[in-house]
Structure 1
Amino acid sequence: MESVSERRMRYGKQSLMFLATSFGYISVGMSLTWPNAFASDVRVNNSTFFGTEIACSDWQMDMVGSMIFLGSLPGFLFAGWLVRALGRRWSMVVASLPGLLGALLICLALSIEMVLVGRFLEGAMFGMMGVAARTYIVEIADTEIRGSASVVVNLMMQVGSVSVLALGIPLRWYQVSFVSIGLLACYCLLLVPSLPESPTYLVVTGKEEEAKAVLRRLRGPGVDISKLLQNLKKQNEALQNTVGWGFLLQRDILRRELILFGLFLIANFTGVQVIKANTARMLASSDLALDGKLSAILVTFVLFVGNFFMLLILDRVGRRRCLVLSLCLLLVAYAALGTFTFYSQQDTVLPVEIELSVFADANSTVEYFYENPPAETSWSWVPLACLMLAALGQSMGSGPIPWILSPEYFPTAIRSQAMCICTLMGSIQAFASLQLFSPMQNLLTEAGLYWTYSCTAGVGIVYTLLFLEETSGASVG
């Protein structure tokens, strides 16, 4: 029987493995929020590494944010095959390569087109690493800590998000990408090669002796390894020899895929990715006293805090309850932000010049304000507070949980392929939500956009209660 101290020691070793696996996600997080640093920087100084100037329209700025999700589409599709054929560990190494090339292109960019190509390649890394790293963590973690282990990926991603915004204050946008190159090089050359292969993958591919050695290391002496191997085989035997992608249309698999499609749709159209990529732009229209970069750092730091809090409670509270709480916070935050924006736009006061015929000075003009003079007190802190509440809400559920459930919903034999399809659809939706940010704002008005996000969160609460299956504490094979 395993003692408490031995179990803690084993969990500690697993935690180090989770951190090593997720280290590459620091670079992914940097990529996701890098558009904030880019947008803030080019407004002041649009010079490149070589001293030339770079021009960027609103449509191209939308593309800078959304291109990473467009690039993730081939990344997800390739990863579905790669993770099954090459294994989880070496797939993470391969996933780093397009990210390295993309960051290098951005560093040396002479035009916005080079930036967009670099973002596309970073997106390919995002897709490939998303499937490989999350699948690996689900398969090596004990059931009791699997949820918290999965959140480590999001936590490291938020570390990267905060880092890129903090680095964006002293550094130029292209210099920040050099840091990303260094992180990815350490990840693929030093950290990943030191990790063992996933034991469930070894079982499915017939390498039982290797699987036993890894399982003894991960599960400890108190677990019957032979029985564990037997259960893993039983959970995967129906899909063990699947060829092609036809299994995705099996009734139970298809139902779970559709549930995840809906969950990603709700997450993306409650502004999950919009907050990360466009915080600086969302606050630019308000009379915020704080600098745009500092405001973006505050919002991103709240994302980190929310992920950390979720790491502590997810396995105790469960996925469904966390998601409902998350969506409630988003509903309130966006409703308040939309209402504030609506009334602040209605109350905008335009100065009117009135000529006064005065005997002493017949040509003098005085500037008057219709009805209300400008007040000394300002409510410009409200948009930032609302976005921080929305960031807290999405980081506690709607952001991470669709990604956590994607590998948990499917057995090992088909996990990488099924997950890649679900996350592929999620990335298409994320691309659409980012690319439609400016058009929706123009069509619905800024207040209408936030109210739309709020309504989507309301629909998401009902959807979660009706359809979402709880996986906390359950074996996922």
Structure 2
Amino acid sequence: MNSQEDKLCRRGMTVGLRGAGISTACIARQLDLTKITVRLVPKVLIIVVGSIGHLSLGMAQTWPNTLASHLMTDNTTLLGTHLNVSNTQLDWMGSVFYVTMTSFLLFAGVIVARIGRRLSLLCSCLPLALGWLLFAFAFSPEMILAGRCVVGVGASLLVIGGRAYMSEIATTNIRGLAIAFMELMKGLGLMMMAGLGVVLPWYHISFVNIGVLSLFSTGLLLIFPESPNYLAVHGKEMEALSILRRLRSSKEDAEEELRQLKHLNQCRNGSSGWAVLLTYDNIKRLAVVCGLLFIRSFTGTELIKVNVARMMQSSGVLLDANVSSFIVMSVVLCAVLAMTGLVDRLGRRRCLIISLAVMAVVYSVLGAITYLIPPPVLTDLDTAIPPVNISHTVYETNIK
């Protein structure tokens, strides 16, 4: 909505409301509320559509669970052949995704900075779709491992591009919610994979993911503008200003944000990205972030997500592996829902401290049960204490 349309809209609403006998103060409040709503709708739409890709990311993380649970009863592939997978190969199918994703993250950051956030997200759909096609038509473990590597490359582009885009499009008051919503969609993807595993064979689930990626890429093409930060840094200031005017609450806010972006760009004095990154202040920030990521990576939560079906089977739970996976992934989704509601109220630091503190207690209990108490002979689900602790551990980690 441009300034002329905004004036006409306000004038028409004012005349109509005065005709209805509404006071001037109420009219002013109603006009402000309407203006905020009009500005908020595009941002909400972008956040929702931009998070759809994380459905596929969540499903990719836990797809080995579905594969392992199905192979316990039927190892037939889409092509009618039989797939024989060892435990070691199943371990690699879970791990190689994270190895590839982590290895490519640095290159993904360079790509996102060079070609832009929107195009990077579009490019991420290609390796993700190719990986899912490899899963669908796989007739050997090696083909699945290759697909996991390809999906890991796409996931790195999706994670870097998505987080950069959301943090730049959203205003400060909803930025935490925007990032948390991406995690919410990923948690929903975890639960969807477990739920689909109950009703569909592992190779048919691949086509569901390709459909999700098609929806995501269509939304990128039809709805997504390029990040105004990227446009401003690359000298396309008029395009950046046009996008900011559609997304910010007022023309003045948009122009002020563009001025700040231009100022930050000028402070670089033509330095390369690495030169700006390797400053004392940025190194301190990076050290804190890397430390937190190191702690998160070694909590074991990702390992639990990938191998929960086999862990449940080993613990003696007399429940279908897909159903038990669905229960644990539902706990993940509940944790992300809690985080979505708390992150902007309590703040990032408090949520992180609470999560780490409770997780330390839960892991201590899990460790005590696992290593200090002799494993019981499980005869029914009520005696399965370790999986309960696993669920609590996953919950506390994902509240971050």
Count of residue pairs brought into register by the alignment: 371
Superposition deviation, residue 271 in structure 1? 1.4
Aligned match of 1:45: 74
Contact 1:33 1:164 in 2 (8 A): yes
Contact 1:23 1:156 in 2 (8 A): yes
Of the structure 1 ranges 92-101 and 74-83, higher mean CA displacement relative to structure 2 is found in 74-83
1:117 to 139, 142, 146: 146
Of the structure 1 ranges 338-347 and 258-267, higher mean CA displacement relative to structure 2 is found in 338-347
Contact 2:365 2:389 in 1 (8 A): yes
Cα deviation, 1:168-223, whole Å, max 9, x if unaligned, reads 11211111111111111221234444211111111111111111111111112264
3-state secondary structure, aligned to 1:168: helix
Q: Does 1:132 align with 2:137?
A: no
Q: CA separation in 1, counterparts of 2:369 and 2:42?
A: 48
Q: CA separation in 2, counterparts of 1:340 and 1:101?
A: 42
Aligned match of 1:14: 43
Aligned match of 1:430: none
Aligned match of 2:360: 331
The one-letter amino acid of 1:174's match is Y
Aligned match of 1:448: none
Q: CA separation in 2, counterparts of 1:8 and 1:24?
A: 26
Contact 1:289 1:380 in 2 (8 A): no
Q: CA separation in 2, counterparts of 1:258 and 1:291?
A: 43
1:256 to 271, 279, 285: 285
Cα deviation, 1:80-121, whole Å, max 9, x if unaligned, reads 222122111111101110011111011111100000000111
Contact 2:315 2:387 in 1 (8 A): no
Q: CA separation in 1, counterparts of 2:391 and 2:218?
A: 37
Aligned match of 2:396: 393
Contact 1:75 1:126 in 2 (8 A): no
The one-letter amino acid of 2:368's match is T
Q: Which runs of 4+ in 1 moved over 6 A?
A: none
Which residues of structure 2 form unaligned runs of 5+?
1-27
Contact 1:162 1:300 in 2 (8 A): yes
Alignment of 1:231-242 (within 5 A): 231-239=260-268, 241-242=270-271
Cα deviation, 1:316-355, whole Å, max 9, x if unaligned, reads 211111011111221122222222223553666xxxxxxx
3-state secondary structure, aligned to 1:345: coil
1:271 to 292, 300, 304: 300
Alignment of 1:326-405 (within 5 A): 326-345=355-374, 379-397=382-400
Cα deviation, 1:4-46, whole Å, max 9, x if unaligned, reads 4432443343121111111111111110011110111111111
TM-score (norm 2): 0.87
Aligned match of 2:3: none
Cα deviation, 1:426-469, whole Å, max 9, x if unaligned, reads xxxxxxxxxxxxxxxxxxxxxxxxxxxxxxxxxxxxxxxxxxxx
Contact 1:105 1:114 in 2 (8 A): yes
Aligned match of 1:298: 327
The one-letter amino acid of 2:107's match is F
Aligned match of 1:176: 205
3-state secondary structure, aligned to 1:51: coil
Which residues of structure 1 form unaligned runs of 5+?
349-373, 398-477
Q: 1:345 to 1:77 in 2, by over 3 A?
A: same
Cα deviation, 1:358-400, whole Å, max 9, x if unaligned, reads xxxxxxxxxxxxxxxx9x8875342222122112111111xxx
Q: 1:318 to 1:244 in 2, by over 3 A?
A: closer
Contact 1:295 1:384 in 2 (8 A): no
TM-score (norm 1): 0.74
- Give the alignment's Cα RMSD to 1 decimal: 2.1
Q: CA separation in 2, counterparts of 1:242 and 1:189?
A: 36
1:187 to 206, 212, 216: 216
The one-letter amino acid of 2:211's match is G
Superposition deviation, residue 224 in structure 1? 3.4
The one-letter amino acid of 1:171's match is L
Contact 2:105 2:160 in 1 (8 A): yes
3-state secondary structure, aligned to 2:250: coil
Cα deviation, 1:279-326, whole Å, max 9, x if unaligned, reads 112222222233221111111111111111211111121111101111
Q: CA separation in 2, counterparts of 1:241 and 1:65?
A: 43
Q: 1:274 to 1:217 in 2, by over 3 A?
A: same
Contact 2:118 2:220 in 1 (8 A): no
Instruction: Give the structure with the larger helix fraction.
Output: 2
